[in-house]
Chain A
Amino acid sequence: EDQVTQSPEALRLQEGESSSLNCSYTVSGLRGLFWYRQDPGKGPEFLFTLYSAGEEKEKERLKATLTKKESFLHITAPKPEDSATYLCAVQANSGYALNFGKGTSLLVTP
Chain B
Amino acid sequence: NAGVMQNPRHLVRRRGQEARLRCSPMKGHSHVYWYRQLPEEGLKFMVYLQKENIIDESGMPKERFSAEFPKEGPSILRIQQVVRGDSAAYFCASSPDSTYEQYFGPGTRLTVT
Contact = CB atoms under 8 A, between A and B. Distances in A.
A44 B45 CA distance: 14
A102 B107 contact: no
B72 interface: no
Interface extent on A, as a size class?
20 to 34
A60 B98 CA distance: 27
B33 A97 contact: yes
Given A43-B104, A46-B103, A102 B42 contact: yes
B102 interface: yes
Nearest to B47: A97
Interface in A59-110: 87, 89, 95-103
Interface residues of B, number: 25
A22 interface: no
Interface string B39-59: 001111100100000011011
Interface string B92-108: 01000011011111110
A81 B35 CA distance: 26
Interface of B: 4, 6, 33, 35, 41-45, 48, 55-56, 58-59, 91, 93, 98-99, 101-107
